[in-house]
């Protein structure tokens, strides 16, 4: 006796329930919620905020390896994906911490994070581990010693508060002589970026040494705003850093 095949109409109803069944309605409701959530998340990431993880020590002591922050993508204008077009463009300011995309040393285009130290029209120089803007040496005030581990090496330096125009921020400097970068004028539409870890940062001072090099405003992704999470190399949370702002304070004019 030959066994009859399964009832195809029953199988069809199980796999593809009719629109008026409860199973279909629940499935479609979940699908709508999922699609809506993905669209909202995609829009926020594309036009508003994007998360970024700190991968290196180049911005110590301001940013530590294992910090997670949000990048404000609309501060300098809304970017149209896959183009260089921005609406409502506002120029970055000296002291802003920015994420930018650039191909360096023959490597693929990558995201980097640095601090803007030079804006169009500035004349920049770097001598004896001091930054000069328009021939004015930017003051540094000693705060205290700072040590960290990087690639199995123990590195010891000192933290200074640097006065960058009317913006105050911290820099990390190691003892010893520093390389010089000759005076260079920042071209229109360009910006000079430097890491706060002055002796361990591949930045505008190094790309075209002994002269400065720059990033284009179209390469800037956005401005770093605040930390939303942080943990160390052992994945122990650093809760004291969470929600810390990354906007450099402005010195009061007296």
Nearest to 129 by CA among 222, 199, 34: 199
Cross-strand partners of 87 = 78
CB within 8 Å of 168: residues ≥ 6 apart: 161, 162, 248, 249, 250, 251
Residue 136, classed as helix, strand or coil, is: strand
Q: 3-state class of 218 per DSSP?
A: helix
Reduced to 3 states (helix: H, G, I; strand: E, B; else coil), residue 213 is coil
Residue 153 CB partners (closer than 8 Å, separation 6+): none
**Three-class SS of residue 188?**
coil
Which residues are paired to 126 by β-bridges? 131, 181
Rounded-to-integer distance, Cα 47 and Cα 198, Å: 32
Of 57, 58, 201, 230, the catalytic one is: 58
Name the active-site residue from 57, 73, 114, 190. Answer: 114
From residue 18, give the alpha-carbon distance in Å to each of 30, 34, 241. 16, 21, 53
Distance CA 59, CA 17 (A): 56
| Residues 212/204, Cβ–Cβ less than 8 Å | yes
Closest Cα partner for 62 from 115, 137, 118?
115
User: Is 3 one of the catalytic residues?
Assistant: no
* CA distance linking residue 99 with residue 89, whole number of Å: 16
To the query of whether residue 137 is one of the catalytic residues in this protein, the response is no
Catalytic residue annotation: 58, 114
């Amino acid at each position: 006796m030959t066994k009859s095949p399964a009832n195809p109409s029953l199988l069809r109803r199980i796999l593809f329930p009719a629109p008026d069944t409860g199973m279909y309605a629940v499935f479609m409701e979940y699908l709508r919620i999922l699609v809506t959530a993905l669209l909202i998340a995609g829009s926020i990431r594309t036009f508003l905020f994007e998360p970024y993880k700190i991968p290196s020590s180049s911005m110590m002591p301001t940013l530590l390896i294992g910090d997670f922050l949000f990048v404000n993508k609309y501060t300098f204008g809304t970017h149209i994906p896959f183009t260089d077009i921005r609406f409502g463009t506002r120029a970055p300011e000296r002291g802003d911490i920015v994420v930018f995309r650039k191909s360096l040393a023959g490597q693929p285009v990558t995201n980097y994070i640095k601090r803007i130290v030079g804006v169009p029209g500035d004349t920049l120089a770097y001598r004896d581990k001091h930054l000069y803007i328009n021939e004015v040496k930017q003051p540094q005030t000693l705060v205290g010693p700072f040590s960290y581990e990087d690639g199995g090496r123990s590195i010891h330096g000192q933290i200074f508060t640097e006065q960058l125009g009317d913006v105050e921020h911290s820099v990390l400097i190691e003892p010893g002589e520093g390389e010089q970068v000759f005076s260079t004028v920042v071209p229109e539409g360009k910006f000079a970026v430097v890491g706060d870890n002055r002796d361990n940062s591949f930045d505008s001072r190094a790309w075209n040494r002994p002269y400065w090099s720059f990033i284009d405003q179209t390469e800037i992704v956005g401005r770093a705003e605040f930390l939303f999470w942080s943990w160390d190399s052992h994945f122990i949370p650093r809760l004291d850093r969470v929600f810390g702002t990354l906007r450099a304070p402005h010195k009061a004019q007296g």
